[in-house]
Structure 1
Amino acid sequence: MSSSCRPSWLVPALLCALAVLAARPAETPGRSPARGGAELGVSAQVARLYEEAAVATRQYEEGRRAAETERTRARQLDELLDRERKQLAVLHKDLGRIARAQYRSGGDVPLTARMLLTDHPEELLRRQHAVSRADLAVTDAIRRSRSAEARLAADEVKAAARWRALEQRNVELVALKADIEAKLEEARRRLQVQADSSTASGTCRGAVRLDQPHKSVRRAWVAPVREYELSAPFGSGGARWANRHTGQDFAVPIGTPVRSVGGGRVVRVSCGGAFGIQIVVAHPGGYYTQYAHLASVAVDQGERLVPGQWIGQSGTTGNSTGPHLHFEVRVTPELGSGVDPVPWLAARGVRL
């Protein structure tokens, strides 16, 4: 902060310095100022790699489905080609029967001579006309069948080439996905080390601002994480809890972006203790939600939130046996007033 005082004498200078110090914002107890450099960069790196890994996974799945579609198309072309070949074989047999019938009815004897020798020339003409029409039909069918066979064979070559290109793209996507996941795993490890250091000292690092999701949430309530597996439920027993489990656990990797389930205001950001790094949010209607065992926070106490806003990243700080988000719904900001989060969210249109 700059000052407009211009000290010409010692007393005005001291007064000016005191005014500047008094104007500085006080630090929140238990929070340390946000530090720059690599320490805070790892949080943003994890969030970015998390999104890149998700994109690479989607691209791989789309490529895999496209390759499977091409394989199905190639099989259909093979089946169609087989049917055409069978029809061609039947036509060849029909042509052979016609040729044999012609031979039995006169062979190479000219039609004029056969008409002079026969007792029924009209019948002979009808038969000859039928044979000629059959000849033309068979010839035309053979031509069409061969044309279709050539066309199908060309389509089959194109489909095979496209399938090989898709397979090669999938191989490249697998390598890209593996590289991203390796970098993500290392960044997650570094993020958790920083988080453990914060909880050990009981002093949180400053809020690490994360790029918010590209798609804004249009619903009033959402799940606290996008992709998850439900683990320990509300009210379950366990050696790590004094009585019963007071929330719902979401099994997610370290660094997974955590969302505010609804609009509200941050009433607590703290580190240390059984919950490790945690955030408590007050919502309209008198309810509070808690997000615990985090690896980082992306909001400050007193901050207003919108539904789906990223407020931190999951971790395994505090009394935790592995990476997960501990999520609670309470009627007060304090522990011991929890209600089952699953039906509470379901009543708001969020089915876990």
Structure 2
Amino acid sequence: MRSSRRHPLLVPGLLCALAVLAARPTDGVEGDGGSGTALGPQVARLYEDAAKATRQYEDGRREAEVQRSKALEYERLLDGQRQEIDAMHEDLGRIARAQYRGAGGLPFTARMLLADDPDELMRGQRAVSRANLTVSTAVGKSLRAEKRLAADEAKAQAAWQALDKRNADLVKLKKEIEAKLGSARSRLQGQADASVTAGSCPGAVRLDQPEERAGPSWVAPVETYELSASFGSGGSRWANRHTGQDFAVPVGTPVRAVGTGRVLKVTCGGAFGIQVVVQHADGYYTQYAHLAAVAVDQGDRVGPGQWIGQSGTTGNSTGPHLHFEVRVTPEMGSALDPVPWLSRRGVPL
């Protein structure tokens, strides 16, 4: 599986993800009404929403793992601080017990009166006091450090738990979107099949195109895919050999023009079902077949990455996929292997 789009997620972006996705209009997807010109954009939007929810969940899951690791590290540091404090308290106890035993349990004033060398006793007392102060200061610092670590641990655990909750909500939302998407895809394919059976091609569906930005001159015909039947492969479905490269994708997946060109024809019926043929300036032609909807009309100019239709399973097709061909003429019989053709143009599949 390939995907060329990867978006890093900041935690604030994840926290508002549910509100953004939940606010997207469904345009009546759950009902039975709506025309083919409405269904195509619905499927495209739901397709993007499902992909976005998946990306946000994956990014959120990784962030939750980071927060979980932080919480565990803070807990380890806290254990170390507690052990140091316990050791310091034990040292103070030993000092106090030694003082008491050395003086026979007498108060310090009585020991001064009975001492053979009061100055020596004072020096010893000052040394013990300095030791007490040093240990008390160290214990105070350790307690303050423990307090800070405990606060950091609480923050890390709270962030971890919040991210886990958001991820669980995203999983639920993603399932809801995918259920709507499955229903809309089924209806879109049904309308496409009805059009092909009636012999009348559906009109162009004007999809909301992806954001335009400078990019390569050539792209793959779909963005996320698995390669299936390859060029030249044999099988009972083809009279001779397979004349293109198949991309296994769900119904409704946006299909892209691989490069700059002009739409030569849009037809439906026959083995290829609904199809688009694009003429390129270098004398080659590309074909996009088994579509469920088209987003261009004959004569339209298209650029690399522009959505020209949506995948389906019309015509001689055993399941949802895009059949993609590269030809040296507009017609069948002039196809060449599209994989090395795209590779030479900087598009490895």
Fold equivalence (TM over 0.5)? yes
The yes-or-no answer on 1:350 pairing with 2:347 is yes
Identity %: 65
5 Å matches for 1:262-341? 262-341=259-338
Matched ranges for 1:234-273 at <5 A? 234-273=231-270
Give the aligned CA root-mean-square deviation in angstroms.
Answer: 2.5
In structure 1, how many angstroms separate the alpha carbons of the residues matched to 2:99 and 2:261? Answer: 94
Does residue 39 of structure 2 align to residue 42 of structure 1? yes
The offset of 1:103, in angstroms, is 4.0
In structure 2, what residue type is equivalent to 1:218?
G
Measured after TM superposition, the shift of residue 250 of structure 1 is: 1.0
Q: Partner of 2:154: helix, strand, or coil?
A: helix
Structure 2: runs of 5+ lacking an equivalent: 1-32
Change (3 A) 1:107 1:250: farther
2-structure distance, mates of 1:330, 1:126: 102
Match of 2:22 in 1: none
1:292 deviation in Å? Answer: 0.9
**Which residue matches 2:63?**
66
Contact 1:115 1:121 in 2 (8 A): no
- Show the 5 A alignment for 1:1-352: 38-106=35-103, 108=105, 110=108, 113=112, 116-117=115-116, 128-216=125-213, 218-352=215-349
Q: In 2, are the aligned partners of 1:220 and 1:263 still within 8 Å (CA)?
A: yes
SS at match of 2:291: strand
- How far is the alpha carbon of 1:298 from its aligned partner? 0.6
d(CA) in 1 for partners of 2:104, 2:332: 105
User: Displacement of 1:287 after TM fit?
Assistant: 1.5
Distance in 2, Cα, partners of 1:106 & 1:238: 103
> Using the alignment, how far apart are the partners of 1:258 and 1:214 within structure 2?
15
CA distance in 2, matches of 1:323, 1:78: 51
Counterpart position of 1:10 = none
User: Is the contact between residue 217 and residue 307 of structure 1 (CA under 8 Å) also seen in structure 2?
Assistant: no
Q: In 2, Cα distance between the equivalents of 1:274 and 1:129?
A: 102
Residue 185 of structure 1 deviates from its aligned partner by 0.8
Q: Between Structure 1 and Structure 2, whose CA radius of gyration is higher?
A: 1
Comparing 181-190 with 69-78, greater Cα deviation is found at 69-78
Instruction: Supply the AA of the counterpart residue of 2:323.
Output: H
Deviations 1:46-68 (CA, angstroms, capped at 9, x unpaired): 11211222222223233323322
Structure 2 Cα separation of the partners of residues 272 and 66 of structure 1: 49
Shift of 1:156: 2.6
Number of residue-to-residue matches in the alignment: 315
SS at match of 1:117: coil
Structure 1 Cα separation of the partners of residues 90 and 336 of structure 2: 80
C-alpha distance in structure 2 between counterparts of 1:301 and 1:240, whole Å: 29
Q: What is the deviation of 1:217? A: 5.2
Deviation of 1:45 (Å): 1.2
In the TM superposition, what is the alpha-carbon distance from 1:39 to its structure 2 partner? 3.0
Corresponding residue SS for 1:187: helix
More moved, 214-223 vs 73-82: 214-223
CA deviation vs aligned residue, 1:53-97 (integer Å, no higher than 9, x gap):
222222323332332222222112111111111221222233233
Tell me the TM-score normalised to structure 2 length.
0.82
Distance 2:151 2:300 in 1: 64
In the alignment, structure 1 segments of 5+ residues that lack a partner are 1-35
1:15 corresponds in structure 2 to: none
Give the CA deviation at 1:221. Answer: 1.0
Deviation at 1:37, TM superposition (A): 5.8
